[in-house]
Amino acid sequence: MTTDFLSLDELHCKVHALLETLYPNRDTDELTKACLDAIGPRQNKDVVAPERLWSEKDSLLITYGNSVREAGHKPLDTLQNFLHDNLQNVFSAVHVLPFFPHSSDDGFAVIDYTQVDPELGDWDDINALSHDFKLMADLVINHVSSQSLWFRNYQYGKDPGRGYFVEADPNYDLSNVVRPRTSPLLRKTETAEGIKHVWCTFSHDQVDVDFRNEQVLLEYLRIIGRYLDEGAQWIRLDAVAFLWKELGTNCIHLPQTHDVVKLVRLLTEYKNAHALLISETNVPNRENLTYFGNSNEAHIIYNFSLPPLVIHALLAGDCSYLKSWMMSMPPSPVGCTYLNFTASHDGIGLRPAEGLLSDGELQQMLGTLESFGGRISTRTDAEGNEKPYEANIALFDAFKGTYNGTDKWQVERLICSQTIMLAVEGIPAFYIHTLFATPNDEDKLEATGHNRSINRRNWSLSDLQARIDEPGGPGQRVFDELRRLIRLRSHQPAFHPNATQFTLHIRPEIFAFWRQSMRRTQSIFCIYNLSDQPQEVSLSDLNLISTETWFDLISDQPITDLYGKITLSPYQALWLTNYNEPL
């Protein structure tokens, strides 16, 4: 339910209650008013029914502002022109990864949240993108750059910044703190008050802010208000799981973190009823699901277990682990949904596969990805051991072959993986390099020394155009087919993000599930051959209703014998349906 169903008094009451829990020693009446002032004036007073927050027409493109470059042009201009010419009628939403001045991590060490990186463009360019697409912006909420004004002021004991950062005694036992890196947690820092040790979950250039200080909360509410005013509609809460720190705890998923997310949702919906919060929590599946709350935290959560399980299934030719996970996944709550993806600017997260893939299966998958040119990044666990955290590889090269080695089916495996993602419950999200079948960027990896650079290529527009125009080349084949499939999906009510999903049981080489539209006007049986051999499927196993006409959406071929058999080529997908809406 959105806050538009609440009276202003009810909104005040809910905000007040959360603030009273988070900041019990503050004047909560005054702080409630300050929060409403910080988020800024309302943009609309619409009433949005939960099922209308998104539809089968929604799909998301993930890109850096400079993923495509052209000499003499601002990167954001080049990006907008490319999207307008090639993808405007394909994607409904675009996630432009952090586009702010930054000092490291390709944007995730933000120097100034209020400015667009001048090397990319300006706020007018961001606003122009928001007119063509729903725009997702990153709220890097856990940390800021060590070169930010806040951190410099902290060092000099000035406002704003004084009291904004988490300090800890280096002699305190912090070994139980969960974090995704191997670097030391604390950074030694000179300040006007002497040497301090500040908390750095990710790197010493990314210093964690202290939400125990209510002024930090107000700063981020102002930033959210600015993003919404500049045209962003979807707000991605980056690394939000680590937000609240309490000594003596593991400092991840703390109750206060969930309360901050609830508070942000209330205030964001108050400002704009169409605005959506997306939580980015690269953690084991059960932990990730908690960010739905009671339909009062994130509207959308990343489906982090999907990438490693889809990749495993296609490398192994076996859907057993993928199917078991899908059977265990709950339908998303009312007013919530999943964001499905198989590749991103980061690597393939491995923590979300914990408890889902056996150690043996995980090691075999990682060894295969390394043989295809991938790298493995690690984290340090509570015992001080290094453990695999993510696999860094371009998705196209992750599908160079199978556990048996490289083969000729690389393009087919990539398309199959995306066809799975398009059909699973939720909203599909495509990393821009998947569309082009971009291979590993070994040159950028060598230049930066950072594993994640392998999948963060910057294309020149001319080189990219040549790749997607090359007749019969992998770039053209993938680009054309994925655009066709995304458009095809957008006309199927059974692919509404909240439509019913039911897992089917055929055999390990065949992954299959059923989707039914919310008004029960359409069924789609999604069937995938995950192997490099032809596979036969008996249609009688699907129990297709004999009084209806069935056909395959992907090939546009009718099903003439509902009790016969279909042979699927290696990595072929079928979307069998009883419904046809002209494109």
Q: Which stretches does DSSP call E strand in 129-238? A: 134-140, 143-145, 186-191, 194-199, 206-208, 232-238
Q: Can you give 258-299 as a three-state secondary structure string?
A: HHHHHHHHHHHHHHCCCCEEEECCCCCHHHHHHHHCCCCCCC
**Residue 291: half-sphere exposure toward Cβ, Cα within 13 Å:** 35
Distance separating alpha carbons of residues 260 and 491, to the nearest angstrom:
37
Residue 517: both structure tokens together: 């539209």
Helix (H, G, I), strand (E, B) or coil at 46: coil
Known catalytic residue at 238:
yes
Distance separating alpha carbons of residues 254 and 114, to the nearest angstrom:
28
Which residues lie across from 324 on neighbouring strands?
none
Query: Which of these is catalytic: 58, 105, 138, 238?
Result: 238
Distance separating alpha carbons of residues 495 and 423, to the nearest angstrom:
6
Residue 403: both structure tokens together: 């556990």
Alpha-carbon separation of residue 576 from 195, 427, 453, 508 (angstroms): 66, 20, 39, 20
Residue 46: both structure tokens together: 């619409």
CB-CB contact of 278 with 291 (8 Å): no
Residue 372: both structure tokens together: 């295809």
CB-CB contact of 342 with 422 (8 Å): no
Residue 165: both structure tokens together: 């950062």
Q: Provide the annotated active-site residues.
A: 238
